[in-house]
Structure 1
Amino acid sequence: MPQELGLEGCDFCKFVNYEDSDDFYLYEMGTCKCKPLYSYTHLVKNRIIIHFVLNGKGILKINGKTYDVGPHQVFLIPSDTKTFYQADKDDPWEYAWFHIGGPKIPLILKEAGLTPSNPVYTPMACADKIETLVWDIMENNSRQYYCIGTLYQILGYMIENSKAKQDDTFDDSLLYVKNVISYIQLKYTEPVKIEKIAASLGLNRSYLTRLFKEATGYSPQEYLLTYRMKMAMKMLSENVLSISEIATAVGYGDTFTFSKAFKRHFGKSPSEYRGTDYSMAPGMTGR
């Protein structure tokens, strides 16, 4: 079992800040074998926390509801939501957690049936396989792409073995959102009109915006902007292209407009950011 510590009350904690992926960010991971009635209150910004209960049990309080959570279940701490959870008095839980983010994460979790309104997941099968992979990530925490790939594998198992999947309750509207994300990631270097994307899907802009915002927390326009800023930040850290070349590369017609948007997003101009270690820079939202 990993031994690195970082937070009081944790058996293991590692801050990793893996943000190279376009869709999936991993910020932190850890494990905790809790004492009886050990409790924690969370209110996190711009990220989601998922807990995998390995042994024991406890309660989760969120949005005015209380949930009993036991072995092999997974519970969600949504972004911007005050959450309380507590270990049982007689059989306190042991869990592993991951702080994750990225525009597709809410979509993936929703496919598994794990949402702010349904924050506890019970696998229909494969619980042992999922927990083996959780420990595998902890043991290989310094390997960025291995960790991200293994988390994708875990989430894949969760989707395939979820009640939502078994009941065939997957929301087809999420396919629209996935298509928009893929389109923006492919075309962000060009002029992009959200109206044209909506029309290509047979939707009006306001309806698409609502679907996208509900699924990701961003409007399509906000996602386009933040994705362009993320790519620009990465190019600036590489220190190869000029600022005007970067502006063109991320879809801006002139350097002034790009620089103004970049400073509004991150609080610093592109020239101030040039050469910054990309892995230490702020996340996608710039907040």
Structure 2
Amino acid sequence: MTVDPDFVSRQTHDARRFYLNLQPSQAQPLSLVCGGVERMDADYVVERSSFPYHAIEWVSEGRGILEMGGKEHELAVGSMFAYGPGIPHRIRNLPPENMRKYYLDLAGTEATERLTELGLLDGRPVTIGRPHEFVELWNLIDREARDVGEHSHSICEMLTCVFLRKIQQRLVSAPAGESSEASQTFEMACHLIGERFLDFRTVEEVAAELGFSPVYLSRLFKRFTGSGAYRYLLRLRMNYAAELLVERGLQVSAVAKRLGYADAFQFSRAFKRVYGVPPSSLAKTFSAKAGQ
């Protein structure tokens, strides 16, 4: 039976943890030490004056309070925060819906630099959009950390770099009180577009279906993805178009008709805006490879 290190809280249940490297080299710029997911007990309170590594934590369920930087901050789904050596912090659960949170502990000079760049060492939590994507990434890291193969460490560290880049991608800039409601609206919009992207050609059509203004919808996507709603819609439509061209061998004119374009020229212009090449070029490239 593995004994958890002293820094692991005993006020949790339904926990799953992995330990990859509890003696990280100081010469290595970025090293993944360990990680875990745990459900807080109702009376969960953890108070530390420091921590041996840089820890990233994010909430996937429930609510809590983080005391850091001399202030109290509310924690909710999508809240992410970090701490490390010399950073006092206090985390407590708010029942009745006990928090479930994930964490990754990092070491190395690059860890400090990356977390600083992301604003995670500013003494307050940030909000991330689409927190389920971080859970999926954590599950990949957890699986690789348990592998006994010689490449498991390097794969975990590569995935950790992807995780840090994902934070940059999904970081939300919004007042704390607005983030939860905005996140739910954003997810609803993404789900609608993902289910019916063939029915929509414009952001106005999507916004009308949702009962929002096109300006609000575009601002929402800009906040959570860094680009507008139309780009998200267009990307899904053109990805489907590429599938039709490459996997089903449809002609450009047929694909244009399937997607509701007036002619092949309009479709080709939209396709090139996304992929940088005309659809006719893509079709010829893959058909040539198939014939080899």
**TM-score, normalising length: structure 1:** 0.50
Which residue in the other structure is 2:127 paired with?
Answer: 122
Q: Does 1:36 align with 2:42?
A: yes
Q: Does 1:133 align with 2:99?
A: no
- Matches of residues 118-197 of structure 1 in structure 2 within 5 Å? 119-123=124-128, 125-142=129-146, 143-163=152-172
Q: Does structure 2 retain, via aligned residues, the 8 Å contact 1:126–1:157? A: no
SS at 1:26 equivalent = strand
User: What is the aligned partner in structure 2 of residue 74 from structure 1?
Assistant: 80
Query: Which runs of no fewer than 5 residues in structure 2 stay unpaired?
Result: 147-151, 174-292
- Deviation of 1:113 after TM superposition, in Å, equals 2.2
Question: 1:163: how far off?
Answer: 4.2
1:193-272 correspondence to structure 2 within 5 Å: none
CA distances 1:179-202 after superposition (whole Å, capped 9, x unpaired): xxxxxxxxxxxxxxxxxxxxxxxx
> What's the CA shift for 1:37?
2.8
How far apart, in 2, do the equivalents of 1:43 and 1:12 lie?
25
Does the Cα contact within 8 Å between 1:37 and 1:92 map onto a contact in 2?
no
Q: Distance in 1 between matches of 2:38 and 2:50?
A: 19
Give, in whole Å, the separation in 1 of the partners of 2:139 and 2:78: 13
Residue in 2 that maps onto 1:108:
114
Q: 1:107 to 1:121 in 2, by over 3 A?
A: same
Q: What residue identity is the alignment partner of 1:70?
A: A
**Equivalent in 16, 36, 41 of residue 12 of structure 1:** 16
| 2:159 match: secondary structure | helix
Contact 1:113–1:163 at 8 Å: present in 2 too? no
Measured at CA, do residues 137 and 5 of structure 1 come closer, stay the same or move farther in structure 2, by a change above 3 Å? farther
Deviation above 6 Å: which 4+ runs of structure 1?
Answer: none
Shift of 1:91: 1.6
Deviation at residue 33 of structure 1 after TM alignment: 0.6
Higher gyration radius (CA)? 2
Q: Give, as a single letter, the amino acid of the residue that structure 1 aligns with 2:82.
A: L
Distance 1:89 1:38, change over 3 A: same
Q: Aligned-pair distance for 1:44? A: 3.2
Give the CA deviation at 1:72: 2.0
How big is the alpha-carbon RMSD for the aligned residues of Structure 1 and Structure 2? Answer: 2.4
Report whether the alignment pairs 1:89 with 2:74: no
Residue 30 to residue 5, structure 1, CA distance change in 2 (3 Å): farther
1:236-280 C-alpha deviation (Å, 9 max, x unpaired):
xxxxxxxxxxxxxxxxxxxxxxxxxxxxxxxxxxxxxxxxxxxxx
Paired residue secondary structure (2:50): coil
CA contact (8 A) 1:4 1:12 kept: no
- Separation in 1 of the partners of 2:21 and 2:47? 22
CA contact (8 A) 2:62 2:76 kept: yes
What SS does the corresponding residue of 2:106 show, helix, strand or coil? strand
User: Using the alignment, how far apart are the partners of 1:89 and 1:45 within structure 2?
Assistant: 26
Give the stretch that moved more between structures: 94-103 or 141-150: 141-150
* Unaligned residue ranges in structure 1 (runs of 5+): 165-287
Rounded Cα–Cα distance in structure 1 between residues aligned with 2:75 and 2:142? 22
* Greater percentage in helix: 2
Matched, 1:25 2:34: no
Q: Which segment drifts farther, 72-81 or 37-46?
A: 37-46
Following the alignment from structure 1 to structure 2, what is the Cα–Cα distance between the partners of residues 113 and 162?
A: 10
Q: 1:64 to 1:115 in 2, by over 3 A?
A: same
The SS at the match of 1:44 is coil
Provide the C-alpha distance between the structure 1 equivalents of 2:120 and 2:163, rounded to a whole number of angstroms: 14
In the TM superposition, residue 4 of structure 1 has moved relative to its aligned partner by: 6.9
- Work out the CA distance in 1 between the residues paired with 2:37 and 2:134: 15
Distance in 1 of aligned mates of 2:140 and 2:88:
30
Percent identity reads 14
Distance change (3 Å), C-alpha of 1:161 and 1:14: closer
The alignment partner of 1:128 has SS state of: helix
Cα gap change, 1:88/1:82 in structure 2, threshold over 3 Å: closer, same or farther? same
